């Protein structure tokens, strides 16, 4: 049976004709004569021809997301060299707010709040001859809680501002800084 199959295969192979030796030359001549697509001079000059392997596209997207997340996580953190007080450069969403307290008998008045991490000596107010203490600060848009610190000991809310419970049995003054300089206290 195997001999019959081998004979049939050999007979079929003898009947088949393979390509002649001139096939390669004929195909190459036909290709070179056929009009091909060539980009215009303008396209060759202004369209980049860099090819990026497809495997790099998700890697590049992941790298961009990582950079974006890192920027949003660390962008608003104060550093040791840039304290978050009046000396800091104002941002584009900053409104200048004037804080005032009438205390003619005080020797010194400071301002402490969530905008300076409640440090009582960080922001000093200047005294006018009539006993009004004041300071003007760049404040970011949002709601801020604060108190005045009189002579380094006594913490008092602003008598001209709204007050809220501080969660520890005390009261904090609240100021709301809105866009375009709208301030509500």
Is residue 135 pLDDT above 90, yes or no?
A: yes
Is residue 114 pLDDT above 90, yes or no?
A: yes
Return the SS3 of 3.
Answer: helix
CB within 8 Å of 65: residues ≥ 6 apart: none
> How is 135-156 classified by DSSP, letter by letter?
EEEEEESEEEEEEEEETTTEEE
Neighbours of 96 (CB within 10 A): 13
- Its pTM surpasses 0.85: no
Mean pLDDT across the chain, nearest whole number?
A: 79
pLDDT one-digit tens code per residue, 23-66? 778 877 777 665 656 666 666 666 666 677 777 778 888 888 88
Q: Which domains, from first to last, does the chain contain?
A: 94-184 (2.60.40.10)
Distance CA 185, CA 164 (A): 11
């Amino acid at each position: 049976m195997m001999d019959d199959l081998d004979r049939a295969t050999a007979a079929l192979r003898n009947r088949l004709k393979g390509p002649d030796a001139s096939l390669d030359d004929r195909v190459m001549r036909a290709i070179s004569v056929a009009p091909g697509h060539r980009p215009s001079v303008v396209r060759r000059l202004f369209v980049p021809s860099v090819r990026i392997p497809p495997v790099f596209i998700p890697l590049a997207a992941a790298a961009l997301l990582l950079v974006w997340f890192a920027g949003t996580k660390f962008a608003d953190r104060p550093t040791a060299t840039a304290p978050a007080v009046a000396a800091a450069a104002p941002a584009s969403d900053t409104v200048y707010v004037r804080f005032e307290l009438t205390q003619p008998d005080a020797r010194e008045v400071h301002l402490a709040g969530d905008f300076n991490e409640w440090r009582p000596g960080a922001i000093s107010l200047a005294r006018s001859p009539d006993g009004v203490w004041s300071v003007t600060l760049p404040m970011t848009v949002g709601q801020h809680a604060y108190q005045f610190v009189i002579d380094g000991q006594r913490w008092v809310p602003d008598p001209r501002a709204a007050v809220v419970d501080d969660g520890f049995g005390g009261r904090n003054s609240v100021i709301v800084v809105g866009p375009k300089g709208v301030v509500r206290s």
